[in-house]
Amino acid sequence: MTMETLQNSQLWQAFEQQARRTRRNPADILAELVRDYLDIAEDVKLTNEMRRDAQKSGLKAADAVKLVRRHRAEKRKRIAAS
């Protein structure tokens, strides 16, 4: 689906209506969703890399989870500070 097709679709019209009801700019919401999607994709990649590294190093899964959570918390702090 191209951006033009999306903008002309019923899905986009419903999205715009909902955005107006919440008094938000649809483009701002879309940008936020794209940022979230990219963050999630990065987190999944990092989690998978850390899981593989942990398996190779003999760490337990709980240790890898703690490392990922610590990384995500640090990342949120950096974003909040900027």
pTM of the complete model: 0.59
String of DSSP letters for 33-70: HHHHHHHHHHHHHHHHHHHHHHHHHT--HHHHHHHHHH
Question: What is the spatial distance between Cα 82 and Cα 71, in angstroms, rounded to a whole number?
Answer: 17
Q: How far apart are CA 28 and CA 59, in angstroms?
A: 41
Token pair for residue 69? 């959570």
The pLDDT value recorded for residue 66 is 87
Kindly state the DSSP code that residue 8 receives in the 8-state scheme: T
Enter the tokens of residue 57: 């190093």
Q: Write the pLDDT tens digit of every residue in 4-44.
A: 998 899 999 999 999 999 999 999 999 999 999 999 999 99
